[in-house]
């Protein structure tokens, strides 16, 4: 009977130890907090415009196409291009690509929102030198009316529902 009193603390300590070890060995841990990623996003330093894309030189950049997107003609033909699916961003091969801080990675997607989602995920995981191509009217891979810039104004005011007393 005396052993039952000691078994419970040992089991709890064992479970906590296993969780600590599992957390320490986890390779997919986010290295940046959401607030750090948000601050980086607010600065807009991760956005690349058409002028910067046109001035890219071979060896400095890798264009990462996410999904079935055609590469806009603004990019020089000498730039390295890698096509990925959104689901394969974190594969072992692609982790090596994103870990290489010698080359800047420019994300291009059919929808800029997909490229920003990929940027947010990769940046939160601690990868650096990642940029999002922000299309303009001349080189946009998507229709111009689907590209939204800045904050959207609300067209109507929100009013809470009135609850009737019972």
CATH code for position 130? 3.40.250.10
Say if 39 falls within a structural domain: yes
Say if 21 falls within a structural domain: no
The pLDDT tens digits of the residues spanning 32-79 come to 888 888 888 888 888 888 888 888 877 788 899 998 888 888 888 788
Domain of residue 116, residue span: 34-134
Number of domains in the chain: 1
Say if 124 falls within a structural domain: yes
Say if 75 falls within a structural domain: yes
Average pLDDT, the chain: 79
Q: What is the pLDDT of residue 137?
A: 39
The pLDDT tens digits of the residues spanning 5-25 come to 788 888 889 889 888 887 777
DSSP string across the chain: -HHHHHHHHHHHHHHHHHHHHHHHH-TT---S-HHHHHHHHHTTTTEE-HHHHHT--TTTEEEEEESS-PPPTTS-TTSEEEEE-GGGTTSHHHHHHHH-TTSEEEEEESSHHHHHHHHHHHHHTT--SEEEE---TTT-SS-GGG---SPPPPSS---PPPPPP-
Say if 45 falls within a structural domain: yes
Say if 64 falls within a structural domain: yes
Reported pTM: 0.64
């Amino acid at each position: 009977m005396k052993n039952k009193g000691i078994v419970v603390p040992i089991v709890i300590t064992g479970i906590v130890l296993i969780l600590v070890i599992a957390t320490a060995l986890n390779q997919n841990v986010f290295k940046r907090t959401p607030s750090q990623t948000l601050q980086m996003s607010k600065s807009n330093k991760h956005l690349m415009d058409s002028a910067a894309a046109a001035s890219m030189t071979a060896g400095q950049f890798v264009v990462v196409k996410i999904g079935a997107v055609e590469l806009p003609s603004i990019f020089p033909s000498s730039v390295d291009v890698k096509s990925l699916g959104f689901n394969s961003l974190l594969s072992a091969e692609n982790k090596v690509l994103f870990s290489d801080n010698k080359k800047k990675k420019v994300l291009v997607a059919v929808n800029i929102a997909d490229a920003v989602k990929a940027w947010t995920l990769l940046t939160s995981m601690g990868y650096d030198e990642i940029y999002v191509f922000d299309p303009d009217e001349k080189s946009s891979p998507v229709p111009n009316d689907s590209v939204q810039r800045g904050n959207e104004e609300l067209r109507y005011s929100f009013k809470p529902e009135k609850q009737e007393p019972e």
